Amino acid sequence: MARALSDSSAALAAVLIFSCALHAQYGAGTAVGGQRAQNNNNASTAPAPARDLQGVWMRRTPKGAFGSGATYTKDLPEMTPWGQEKFKEAKDSNGGAYTLDQTKNPVLTRCYPPGVPRVYFHPYPFEFVQTPKYLLMIFEYDHTVRRIYTDGRPLPKDPDPLWLGYSVGHWEGDATFVVDTVGFNEKTWLDRLGVPHSDQLHVTERFHRVDRDHTSWRCTKCSDYVENPAAHFPQHR
């Protein structure tokens, strides 16, 4: 089964806050919980199982739309000189200002993984697979796999830079799963417009299971902790 995302966002100089909604999708002829699969129009609002995100989810988009939006916020976040320069270099092609041979979009020109949180902008489903020690996010887009450790380990102090970072997660109550991620490389964008980040990026996400077929996603921290000016969080060092 799968779920989807809808956006409402706010940006600060030091922290970005944005959210989306996920809903469940069931393929025709697939049995789910002993019942015939449903389509999205018949999504259930039955109570969700406790501490369980398992299943296939997808971002909620307007009816008939393949995808919507290119960034989480109405206005661009405040950027340091470093961030402004990186943003100018990006030459995003989503708005048509630059062609594919001009853009520096790493997903289009180098087939790089989209990174976090940009990955949620790509209108494809992903699956949560829960195990006793970690939770996997398996994205249809680019066959990307993300591992979130749930065995109580802390975030590493000096992690190796990775495309999706190093993630640890824990439950708050029975319905909210909180994920902290550090250890990113500098090769991805935060969104599809080219908003940059440094290797000191720290992302905090909250997945709240609303009911059986709906989950909300909220990014409550998306900030850089750096000694030198970097990215677009000049007040958060």
pTM higher than 0.85? no
Q: Does residue 235 lie within any of the structural domains?
A: no
Tell me the pLDDT band of 15, cut-offs 50, 70 and 90.
Answer: very low
Q: Does residue 233 lie within any of the structural domains?
A: no
Q: Are strands 31-32 and 35-36 parallel, antiparallel or unpaired?
A: antiparallel
35-44, 70-79, 146-155: lowest mean pLDDT where?
35-44
Question: What CA–CA distance (Å, rounded) separates 7 from 25?
Answer: 19
Give the pLDDT score at 222.
80
Q: Does residue 229 lie within any of the structural domains?
A: no
Q: Does residue 155 lie within any of the structural domains?
A: yes
Q: Does residue 84 lie within any of the structural domains?
A: yes
Say if residue 211's pLDDT is above 60: yes
Domain containing residue 129: 8-30+41-224
Question: What CA–CA distance (Å, rounded) separates 12 from 129?
Answer: 33
Say if residue 31's pLDDT is above 70: no
Question: Coil, strand, or helix at residue 118?
Answer: helix
Question: What CA–CA distance (Å, rounded) separates 17 from 154?
Answer: 23
Q: Does residue 186 lie within any of the structural domains?
A: yes
DSSP state of 159: P
Mean pLDDT over 54-74 rounds to 70
pLDDT tens digits, residue range 92-140?
A: 877 667 887 888 888 888 888 999 998 988 888 999 999 999 999 999 9
Task: Specify the number of domains making up the chain.
Answer: 1
Determine contact, residues 119/139, Cβ cutoff 8 Å: yes
Q: Does residue 204 lie within any of the structural domains?
A: yes
